[in-house]
Amino acid sequence: MKLELGIIPINDIQFGAESKVENGTIYVNADELKALILEDENLKSVELDIARPGESVRIMPVKDVIEPRVKVSGEGAMFPGMISKVAPVGSGRTNVLRGSAVVTTGKIVGFQEGIIDMTGEGSKYTPFSKLNNLVVVCEPIDGLAKHAHEKAVRMAGLKTADYIGKLAKDIVAEEVETFETVSVKEGIEKWPELPRVGYVLMLQSQGLMHDTYVYGVDAKQSLSTIIMPTEIMDGAIVSGNCVSACDKNTTYHHLNNPVIRDLFAQHGKTLNFVGVIITNENVYLADKMRSSDWSSKLCEWLGLDGAIVSQEGFGNPDTDLIMNCKKIEGKGVKTVIITDEYAGRDGASQSLADADAAANAVVTGGNANEVIHLPKMDKVIGYPEVADIIAGGFDGSLQADGSIIAELQVITGATNEMGFNPLSAR
């Protein structure tokens, strides 16, 4: 399967009379876009704002971040099963508005939502401070249940990203990135001397608004399965969860998964990138055992020599991570895990809720309990008072001068278990 990403650099976003992309700038007709979003009867109001790199702007609480893209050729359309019909994606050409993002915010849905600072100390920890962000502030109708509220905001973000992406369908890309996978048989024949490596992508699916969607299906309703890496890069997986901000794999993370990109960079050179196994993270022990059993079986069936396993979330999912690691190693497959740590503010506590001797190759995203001081911003898009109740914050996090003292986990993308580096997506 071959996917071409046509890169269209974006340097600015502005509001204008006509929605279009011109000379590296996205122009948005705010009234037109708001009317589209407000077709959802569960939303009472929508406001649009813009946050640019280096501006004294804070966005909170952050629900999701999405990169605008559009299918130019090939089967399917963006975000299949969510806002387009279910059809396989991952082939043909997709235009990418690189340097831009859609950020959703508004009244808090769940306490595990985050902060994006566009400048200052906090901006150093989030990749989204480097992007030109169109911020969608969604307010639900009175009395709306939390699950319906989450869905309304999620769909608003996807609709907005799709709306913006389609503005670039006929633009000639400045650069084309090509990613191609081959069949298992062809890979063995083509690179018999190279180690066969796969990626086990753990998807947050603990419920209670901790959900991830694959072709529109909640991941907890599925067993571990195989997916082509280019499908993920083409919008097959979207975020629908309110897990702690530093742990959350936003839709932007899925589209720009750095593990997939790095494996592609070495594909056919130092390793044979066989493919991706997606597996869920459920609450109950039986579900964890079932999913990890299937993940390890698929690694064995694919004849992998090595596997990279990344986690989303912390605490309860640490058990899934270690189960996957232990069982995959038990199949004779060398395993590297990617996680972050919750080692206490002094760094002296146990980093993970579970452990095993098989987990002897670990990439860490850092200690999410580290305390950070976020200076006052001139402008806040959203609601600053949630600083006292979001995960990583505490009663008194929001200071009288508008600054915030909290744990690093409040920052969206700060210590992400994908090992996310903003340079990987630029």
Which has more confidence, 418 or 293? 293
For residue 423, give the amino acid letter. L
Q: Phi and psi at residue 4, in whole multiples of 5°?
A: -110, 130
Cα-based distances in Å from 99 to 44, 134, 151, 234, 276: 30, 11, 26, 17, 26
Cβ contacts of 124 within 8 Å, gap of 6 or more: none
Active site residue 246: no
Catalytic residue, from 242, 246, 299, 325: name it: 242
Contact criterion met (CB below 8 Å) for 348 and 315: no
Above 60 in pLDDT, residue 157? yes
The pLDDT-based confidence of 420 (bands split at 50, 70, 90) is: low
Cα-based distances in Å from 216 to 55, 93, 149, 202, 252: 35, 22, 17, 17, 16
| Residue whose C-alpha is closest to residue 170's, from 6, 26, 30, 4 | 6
The pLDDT-based confidence of 28 (bands split at 50, 70, 90) is: very high
The pLDDT-based confidence of 421 (bands split at 50, 70, 90) is: very low
Which has more confidence, 20 or 366? 20
- Antiparallel, parallel or unpaired: β 132-140 and 100-106: parallel
The pLDDT-based confidence of 360 (bands split at 50, 70, 90) is: very high
- pLDDT one-digit tens code per residue, 201-238: 999 998 777 899 999 999 999 999 999 999 999 999 99
What is the C-alpha to C-alpha distance for residues 91 and 71, in angstroms, rounded to an integer? 9
Q: Which of 106-115, 193-202, 298-307 has the lowest mean pLDDT?
A: 106-115
Residue indicated by tokens 């002094």: 346
The pLDDT value recorded for residue 422 is 37
The pLDDT value recorded for residue 310 is 96
Q: What is the mean pLDDT of the chain?
A: 93
Q: Which of 117-131, 168-182, 353-367, 409-423 has the lowest mean pLDDT?
A: 409-423
The pLDDT value recorded for residue 419 is 57
The pLDDT value recorded for residue 417 is 66
Q: Phi and psi at residue 412, in whole multiples of 5°?
A: -65, 115
The pLDDT-based confidence of 424 (bands split at 50, 70, 90) is: very low
- pLDDT one-digit tens code per residue, 266-280: 999 999 999 999 999
Q: Would the pTM count as exceeding 0.85? A: yes
The pLDDT value recorded for residue 423 is 35
- pLDDT one-digit tens code per residue, 50-82: 999 999 999 999 999 999 999 999 999 999 999
The pLDDT value recorded for residue 316 is 85
Cβ contacts of 301 within 8 Å, gap of 6 or more: none
Cα angle, residue 96 at apex, residues 48 and 264 outer, rounded to 5°: 135
Cβ contacts of 284 within 8 Å, gap of 6 or more: none
Above 70 in pLDDT, residue 312? yes
Three-state DSSP state, 231: helix
